[in-house]
Structures are given as C-alpha cells and as structure tokens.
Amino acid sequence: MSERLEQIYQQWQQQPVRQRRLVVGAALLLVAVFLLQRLLPALAESWQLQQQRVALLHDVEWLYAELQQRRQMPGDCVALVASLPANLPRTEQLQTVAARRAIALTAPTTGSDSWQAQAASGDLLLKFMLFDSSCLGVDINAGSLALLELPEAGAESGTTVSYRASFTLAGSGASVEGTHHD
C-alpha cells in the first residue's frame, strides 16, 4: 500500500505547479459545494425559525402589555364597587353609577328591553357601557350610540350637543336597533 502511495506522490510531483493548483482548487470547490448543499437547508430552516421567534416575541410583548392594562382595571373596579351601597341588585348599581357620572339612565318600561342613557359626552357613555357595566358584572348584549343636537332653552339658534345610548343587558330577550340622528 505504501508503494502505491509513493507512486501516486511521485506522479503528483511530476505535474506542473499550475496543474496541481488547478486540481487542488477544483477539489476545494467540490468540497465547498458539498458543504453548501448540506448547510443551506439548515441555514434556511434556522432563518425561518428565527423569523417565527421574532413573531412570537412580538406577540408575547403585545399580550404582556394587554395583561398589564387589564391588571390595572380590577383596582378601579374594586373602588367602584366598594363605593356602592351593599346588597343592591346589579341593575340598581348600574343606575347609581350612572347618576354619579351625570348620565340620565332610563330603565326599560313594560314590553321593552332597551335601556336608554344620555350624557354630554360620548366617551362618558362608552366608559359607562363598557367599563362600568363590566366592573358591576352587568353584560351588555348590544348597544348603539347616537349624537343628538338639542335646541338650547331660551336660545333661538343655539344647540346643545348630547349623546344617547341604547342597549340591552344580557338575559334580555330583545336586541337593540340603533337610532341615528344627524
């Protein structure tokens, strides 16, 4: 065996330097191509996993921010519920909170499941319908919000901006139809 290796080495040494460099370069190129064929799929998979990791980190950050916001809510809810008289039914709690917020709240009459609320601010009504009702454990099935322009008392051309909300509570049979006023 060593004789055969010695013979190959002698033939290699007899080749011109340029040809030996060309053969070594071709061999290195073949090794590089072989390695790239093996590495490129792994690199592509690694890149794809990195992209998924970045997307997941973004989702986790968003969920963490949402959780932080929701953790702040119960303290507000505790203060709101603690400020109400004990043992009031939930609908009466809703009416009490509405009165404190300067919201005119009308409970449904016989044959109607639609509550009406009116206030000077749409934001106030939205907070009442979404946040306050949630804190009190009152679920709203459906609702609408409308902008009203009411004539001012004693003024010929002046108007007062007001907002009206209509909504039904969970457990009520009827759905709300929105009233739109321009």
**Measured distance CA(98)–CA(80) in Å, rounded:** 12
Residue-level pLDDT at 30: 93
- Flag whether 43 is in a domain: yes
Per the CB < 8 A criterion, the answer to whether 143 and 167 are in contact is yes
Per the CB < 8 A criterion, the answer to whether 165 and 154 are in contact is no
Q: Tell me: the pLDDT tens digits for 56-77? A: 888 888 888 877 766 665 667 8
**Measured distance CA(11)–CA(6) in Å, rounded:** 9
User: Two tokens at 109?
Assistant: 């009459």
Residue-level pLDDT at 181: 36
What's the predicted TM-score (pTM) here? 0.48
User: Two tokens at 105?
Assistant: 């709240």
Where residue 111 falls (left for φ over 0; alpha for ψ -120 to 50; beta otherwise) is left
Residue-level pLDDT at 182: 34
Mean pLDDT value across residues 23-35? 91
Q: Tell me: the pLDDT tens digits for 75-117? A: 678 788 888 887 888 888 889 999 999 999 988 776 667 889 9
Helix (H, G, I), strand (E, B) or coil at 149: strand
Mean pLDDT value across residues 130-142? 83
Residue-level pLDDT at 172: 53
- Flag whether 10 is in a domain: yes
Q: What percent of the chain has pLDDT over 70?
A: 81
Q: Assess whether 103 and 159 both reside in one domain.
A: yes
Residue-level pLDDT at 100: 92
Per the CB < 8 A criterion, the answer to whether 169 and 138 are in contact is yes
Q: Assess whether 97 and 154 both reside in one domain.
A: yes
Ordered DSSP codes for 68-111? HHHHHHHHHHHHHHHTSPTT--HHHHHHHHHHHTT-EEEPPPTT
Q: Residue 140 is part of which domain span?
A: 90-169
Rounded to the nearest integer, the mean pLDDT of the chain is 80
Q: Assess whether 25 and 95 both reside in one domain.
A: no
